[in-house]
């Protein structure tokens, strides 16, 4: 299937590792010109070694000022941006008894605003041009409240609403905006999550992973490349009438009707 991405330009935030890097590779393999963003210069350089010809920039996207500079820099470097994939930022898993107003606020900064600070200026530039696709990689924690992921889940829920609302607002100006909720995926973030679950339940990290894997009807975690293949489709001309939805990709872990 020709995804129609040859010559398109794309920015992947959080594109230096995990799902973000897998998405950047998938889009590049379809012929898109790539830019990635990460807080770590070391991680960016390592990723660029796997993405020949890509452009990399470092920034802390929790800062609206730094995020705005990323948008301007990448837009200038690539001439325009056709695609934005947001995958930067994750809230720390925190047991309920350790939550505080500061912890809730930090979760919003780490997940919600690290996305919104890029999305807001980007959709305005795309709308002025009359074309663009935004795919937000969010997480099912915004649908199902987990004890160790309440603050982060709240940020995910807010991102889902923003995704659908912005899609509705900008559909008439040539933009498509879609969300994707991956389930547990083989990344470093899952290791961090299992550490928090293990501490909360008084079990080992290995047992936490075993139990969480057993709870997935498909019986396994996703690979980042599986998530990336769907992201590439969502970015493509093959998905040209798909907008304002949040796609679940969790091995049937959250059997809800939306």
In a domain, 169, yes or no: yes
CATH number of the domain that 45 lies in? 3.40.50.720
pLDDT in tens, 129-176: 999 999 999 998 888 888 888 999 999 999 999 999 999 999 999 999
Give CA–CA dist 185/23, Å, rounded.
Answer: 13
Structure pTM? 0.92
Cα–Cα distance for residue pair 92/193, rounded to 1 Å: 8
> How large is the average pLDDT for residues 108-125?
97
> How does residue 258 score in pLDDT terms, banded at 50, 70 and 90?
low
Instruction: Give the pair of three-digit tokens for residue 173.
Output: 């100006």
Between 97 and 75, the higher pLDDT residue: 75
Whether 251 is covered by a domain: the verdict is no
Q: Coil, strand or helix: which one is 11?
A: strand
Please indicate, yes or no, if residue 204 is contained in any of the structural domains.
Answer: no
Number of domains the chain is built from: 1
Would you state the structure tokens that stand for residue 223, as one six-digit string? 């690979």
What range defines the domain where residue 99 resides?
9-183+222-243
Average pLDDT over residues 182-207: 83
- Report if residue 153 sits inside a domain: yes
Q: How far apart are CA 137 and CA 65, in angstroms?
A: 22
Give residue-wise pLDDT tens across range 56-93.
Answer: 999 999 999 999 999 999 999 999 999 999 998 787 87
Any domain includes 78: yes
**249 lies in a domain?**
no
Nearest in space to 167 (alpha carbons), one of 127, 129, 220, 203: 127
Query: pLDDT, tens digit, for every residue of 220-241?
Result: 999 999 999 999 999 999 999 9
Is 2 a member of any domain? no
Q: How far is CA 77 from CA 11, 26, 81, 82, 230, in A?
A: 11, 21, 10, 13, 27
């Amino acid at each position: 299937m020709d995804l129609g991405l040859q010559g398109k330009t794309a920015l992947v935030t959080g594109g230096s590792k995990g799902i973000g890097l897998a998405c950047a590779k998938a889009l590049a393999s379809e012929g898109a010109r790539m830019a990635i963003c990460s807080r770590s210069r070391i991680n960016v350089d390592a990723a660029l070694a796997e993405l020949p010809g890509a452009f990399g920039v470092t920034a802390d996207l929790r800062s609206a000022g730094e995020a705005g500079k990323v948008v301007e820099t990448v837009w200038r470097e690539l001439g325009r941006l056709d695609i934005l994939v947001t995958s930067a930022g994750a809230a720390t898993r925190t047991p309920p008894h350790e939550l505080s107003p500061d912890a809730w606020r930090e979760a919003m900064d780490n997940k919600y605003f690290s996305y919104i600070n890029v999305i807001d200026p980007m959709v305005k530039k795309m709308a002025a041009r009359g074309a663009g696709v935004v795919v937000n990689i969010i997480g099912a924690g915004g649908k199902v409240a987990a004890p160790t992921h309440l603050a982060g889940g709240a940020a995910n829920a807010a991102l889902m609403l923003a995704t659908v609302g912005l899609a509705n607002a900008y559909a008439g100006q040539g933009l498509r905006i879609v969300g994707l909720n991956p389930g547990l995926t083989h990344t470093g973030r899952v290791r961090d999550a299992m550490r928090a679950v293990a501490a909360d339940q008084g079990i080992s990290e290995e047992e936490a992973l075993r139990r969480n894997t057993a709870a997935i009807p498909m019986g396994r975690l996703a690979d980042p490349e599986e998530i990336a293949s769907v992201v590439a489709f969502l970015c493509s001309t093959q998905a040209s009438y798909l907008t304002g939805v949040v796609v679940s990709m969790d091995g049937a872990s959250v059997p809800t009707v939306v």
